[in-house]
Amino acid sequence: MKNLLKRILLIILAVLIAVQAPFIYRRYKIGQLAKKIEELNQSRTPPAPDQRFKEYKGIIHAHTHLGGHSTGSFEEMIAAANANDLDFVILTEHWSDTIDTSAMTLNGIYGQTLFIGGSEIDTADAGDRFLMIPGSGDAASLRKVPTAAVIDKLHAENRLAFVTYPEKLNSWNAQFDGIEVFSLHTNAKKMNPFTAIFDAIWSFPAYPELMLATYFKRPEENLRKFDEIAAKREISLFAGTDAHSNIGVHLFGDDAGNKGLKIKIDPYATIFRLARQHVLIERDKPLTKESLVEALKAGRSYIGLDVIGDTSGFSFECVCGDDLVRLGSGPSATGSQKGLLRGTSPSRSRFVLLKDGQTVLERSDALEFTLPVTETGAYRLEVYLDQLGPPFDKMPWIISNPIYVR
């Protein structure tokens, strides 16, 4: 009987070791990936100074305790934003029937970071949800108003209407300003819970950001819908963090909020290192709420997966007629039907140029490309770091906003 029990225990131990072996190996591979990224950042080509625009980086779509299902404090968010050298954070607090959460959240400059209070809103049309930037005290009441009327109201007040959770949107013909094509929160919900748990045990303590990034997938359907709309009218894309700082466990605690043996998987400091929005603002303008909203509306921004390499200095421009266009939509981005598109990357990359959603150029292991443009359309650029291996040979490092040639 003792021998049988011993054999059973040995078998169980062998099974446990066998189950863990792939995740131990993944821990090793993620460590190798971290070394590659460090080498990549050290060898990056410094960008040429841009005399017209200054680049700012930050995040869009974040919540604090005001939202009702977040436990993040103002102090935690400020510390995380400053530690990550973020220039701006656009908060999008959930609405409340009793208080103006957009006014009560962080607004203004704290340390080196500009905080803007926005609102996450629903409309009377089921499934439609938007980020209202800046926010407003009437955010709660908008859930009783049809989407088209909500957007008209926001535009009359010089506010942005950005689609969040596009997979649930029904009003695709509405005149919203932008689409959250990549969401960290939505991507995380698609993670395999079995592999994620064991990855968290072995890899998360040493490489929290990279472990999460290895689960990233190109947002195929969101980009398809974006390109479909961009072929018809000017619109912006962006990445959202949907940061809540509310996933974790703790033992012991009290009603004052004190917690013992606390483990948090999604602290702001970690989430803010993953995907960022890089925004271009004219050098003669300071970074303010107004200049940031203006640049986002005009599409003078791009998504940077900074967790796998510093994207600062990326450039996508067009010599269109007599104009030199650097990213973005709006009247300043239109030009003649003849011009020259040019893209540059701070690291050797694979460029994929799309026109109205269709690939028209692909160039590998390059720092730049040029392409004469003779057809009208919305030209958008994706940049990949194939040298890092899967999944980053399929998940873009950079996703630009379009340049519209009309």
For residues 380 and 78, give the distance between their C-alpha atoms in angstroms, rounded to a whole number.
33
pLDDT grade for 319, boundaries at 50, 70 and 90? confident
- Say what the pLDDT of residue 245 is: 79
Domain boundaries, the chain: 53-312
- pLDDT above 70 (res 142): yes
Of 120, 145, 124, nearest to 133 (Cα)?
A: 120
pLDDT tens sequence across 279-316: 999 999 999 999 999 999 999 999 999 999 999 999 99
- pLDDT above 50 (res 272): yes
pLDDT tens sequence across 97-112: 999 999 999 999 999 9
* 374-392 average pLDDT score: 94
- pLDDT above 80 (res 338): no
If one compares 17 and 285, the residue with the highest pLDDT of the two is 285
**17, 193 in Cβ contact below 8 A?**
no
> Residue 375 has which token pair?
């057809």
Mean pLDDT score across all residues of the chain: 89
- Say what the pLDDT of residue 333 is: 42
> Residue 327 has which token pair?
């990213």
Domain 53-312 CATH assignment equals 3.20.20.140: yes
Which position has the token pair 């689609």? 163
- Say what the pLDDT of residue 378 is: 94
For residues 217 and 288, give the distance between their C-alpha atoms in angstroms, rounded to a whole number.
33
- Say what the pLDDT of residue 336 is: 46
> Residue 343 has which token pair?
């893209």
Q: Classify 103 as helix, strand or coil.
A: helix
- pLDDT above 70 (res 253): no
Of 98, 89, 45, nearest to 64 (Cα)?
A: 89
Which position has the token pair 């607090």? 93
* 173-190 average pLDDT score: 93
If one compares 252 and 332, the residue with the highest pLDDT of the two is 252
pLDDT grade for 10, boundaries at 50, 70 and 90? low
pLDDT grade for 335, boundaries at 50, 70 and 90? very low
Lowest mean pLDDT among 102-111, 189-198, 235-244: 189-198
